[in-house]
Amino acid sequence: MAAIECDVLVVGGGPAGAWAALAAAYGGARVVMVDKARCGSSGPTAKGLVALWNVPPGPAREDAVQHSYAKGGYLGDPVWMHRVLSETHRRVDQLVRWGYRFPGERAGLPARVCLDGAKYLGRLRRSLIVAGVRILDHHPALQLLVDAEGVVTGASGVQLRNDYRSWSAHAGAVVLATGGCAFLSGGAGTDVDTGDGLLMAVEAGCELSGMEFSSAYALAPVGPVRLSALGDDAIVPTARPVPDLALHFATLYDETGAALGGGPFGSRAAAFEAIADGRRIYAALDEVPGSLREQLSATPVLAHPKVQLRPVLEGTVRGTGGLRVTGFDCATTVPGLFGAGDVTTREPITGAVGGFGGQGGAWAISSGVWAGAGAAQFARGRGRLGKARPVAGAGLATTASIDPRAVVGLVQEHTLPLRRSYWRSAGSLRDSIAELDGMWPVTECDLGGNGPERLRAREAAALLAVARWTKYSALARTETRGMHRRTDHPGEATDWRIRLHAGGVQSVWVQPEQRDPGPATPHVDLTPA
């Protein structure tokens, strides 16, 4: 087994993980980053242009905060929003000093609110190397390590490029930045977003928040399909989603030629309703301006003037739910464990809606910086590490009697269709909960294996766990708010202007929160010495 020693271990190599590793390194910590794929070239950010919630100081910033607060069903927190906007603006300037050039400045778009994902991640990877961060690609984590007091002390996993041999990392603190969960729906770059970090954290005792806000859907062109690595019965569409920036300029039509929503971009809700009614939906992509079309030249679908669209579930990747953070240092409810990016809840800045307006990109930057700084500080004050043990988890049996494809198939049956996630009712939710709960004991005892089977089994267990948390939370919120739509409770209720926490593995629980603003976090300097 490969043994690793460090001050801060960052699990996940997307933008949130990169910013966390940089902040920890510039805070004086020895940092190791492990990624399921390759840091800088995997995940949703690497697959196209990314919107960024970046508003300069002034009246416009306060307007943006108030707009986001209202749009999010008043579940957000203006204090957090202002902090995120300030941190994001500061780090955007940092990117410019590092040599990154924003595509919007060349395309005639508003300056510095649009990121070229691949170039952005490439710039971050180079900065990590300069900062002395040790990057271990193709090293997925499977379990967290804790000491005798339950404090997180590292993680363990397998090496994909070394015959699936085990690795173990001992650290003074861990930052989880593993992304959300898209239920293997086929969204661009979301194949690595299977909820692994969420399961690892909850098994260690972490709490979740906002899991009912997990029904974010994208619109993707209808295209051919390929067979998934999980097998013939897990078919994944190959067509990449149309970038949101392109859809902003496109009009959506139904099969009769009638525009949806009555204006540019139309209405997502109207499009999903039409698809559910059996109608075909199209986007007029020839309306995308030439300057933006040039920036999106790597997206082949834009070569077609009109494309048919289909819904793709993005789950908690573009939704809201995730690990609950207890303060501005992005610590979780388990000591020694910090969260950053989509693995954490984004309720403080998005409320009951997803990060469609660039909040997700801003949160990745801000939460990454804060979590990295918090982890470095925690590690400094910890002293000598004691013995560590792995947290027991589902899908890790040495011998297996169930195929993970059966688990994935059940999860997708109860998550991917619009009738299961976009619209909800007590009847459909209880039906899903009964089916998913019935499968859970099997994952704990009969799901596992060795080599690649071990990783697939763990991913299947994580998908099932996340599906259960989302269904239980959606059943508990008996109203419609933001992206959470209850057909049996169609309106907002004033007494539901609260967040819901959730947790538990064998037995899932959901309860309303009690607010705690947490301590302030000092400014983190990422300027190289």
pLDDT the model gives residue 94: 93
**Residue 183 and residue 465 in contact, taking contact as beta carbons nearer than 8 Å:** no
* Helix residue ranges, H only, 277-358: 290-295, 315-318, 347-350
Q: Which domain holds residue 363?
A: 4-214+316-390
Q: How many whole angstroms separate alpha carbon 474 and alpha carbon 510?
A: 10
Q: Are residues 376 and 486 both part of a single domain?
A: no
Q: What is the pLDDT of residue 209?
A: 98
In this structure, the answer to whether residues 345 and 467 fall within a common structural domain is no
Strand partners, 308: 282
Residue 348: CATH number of its domain: 3.50.50.60
pLDDT at residue 268, as a whole number = 73
* 139 in Cβ contact with 131 (< 8 Å): no
Separation CA 418–CA 28 (nearest Å):
48
Query: What CA–CA distance (Å, rounded) separates 145 from 138?
Result: 19
Domain boundary, last residue among 266, 281, 310? 310
Question: 305 in a domain, yes or no?
Answer: yes
Residues 210 and 222 occupy one common structural domain: no
Residue 113 lies in a domain: yes
b (16+ CB within 10 A) / e for 219-231: bbbeeeeeebebe
Q: Measured between alpha carbons, how far is 23 from 60 in angstroms, rounded to an integer?
A: 28
Q: What is the DSSP letter of 90?
A: H
Q: How confident is the model at residue 93, as a pLDDT?
A: 92
**Do residue 25 and residue 66 come from a single domain?**
yes
Whether residue 386 sits in one domain with residue 448: no
CA angle 350, 355, 412 (to 5 degrees): 110
pLDDT value of residue 266: 45
Q: Are residues 346 and 292 in the same domain?
A: no
Element (H, E) at 231: strand 231-237
Q: What are phi and psi of 204, to 5 degrees?
A: -85, -5
Query: Are residue 409 and residue 458 in the same domain, yes or no?
Result: yes
Domain-embedded: residue 526? no
Q: Is 29 helix (H, G, I), strand (E, B) or coil?
A: coil
* pLDDT value of position 515: 60
Res 278: pLDDT: 83
Q: Is residue 515 part of a domain?
A: no
Mapping DSSP to helix (H, G, I), strand (E, B) and coil, where does residue 50 land?
A: strand
**Residue-wise pLDDT tens for the chain (529 aa)?**
678 999 999 999 999 999 999 999 999 999 999 999 999 899 999 987 788 999 999 999 999 999 999 999 999 999 999 999 999 999 999 998 998 888 766 555 556 888 889 999 999 999 999 999 999 999 999 999 999 999 999 999 999 999 999 999 999 999 999 999 999 998 889 999 999 999 999 999 999 999 999 999 988 887 643 333 333 333 334 445 555 556 666 788 888 888 887 544 446 778 888 887 888 988 877 666 665 555 555 555 555 667 788 899 999 999 999 999 999 999 999 999 999 999 999 999 999 998 777 999 999 999 999 999 999 999 999 988 889 999 999 999 988 889 999 999 999 999 999 999 999 999 999 999 999 999 999 998 899 999 899 999 999 999 999 999 999 999 999 999 999 999 999 999 999 999 999 999 999 999 998 765 444 444 455 654 3
Find the CATH number of the domain harbouring 410: 1.20.58.100
Residue 240 sits in the same domain as residue 95: no
310, 331, 351 - which closes a domain:
310
Classify residue 482: in a domain, yes or no.
yes
- Is there a single domain that holds both residue 178 and residue 108? yes
d(CA 315, CA 421): 9
Looking at the domain assignment, is residue 453 inside a domain? yes
State which of 295, 310, 325 marks the end of a domain: 310
Whether 496 maps to a domain, the answer reads: no
What angle in degrees, to the nearest 10, is found between the helix axes of 15-26 and 359-380?
30
Whether 31 and 97 map to the same domain: the answer is yes
Check whether residue 230 and residue 288 sit in a common domain: yes
Report the alpha-carbon distance of residue 361 to residue 164 in Å, rounded: 32
C-alpha dihedral sign at 38, 42, 48, 51: negative
User: Is there a domain that residue 518 lies in?
Assistant: no
Assess whether 332 and 303 both reside in one domain: no
Q: Looking at the 3D structure of the chain, how many domains does it have? A: 3
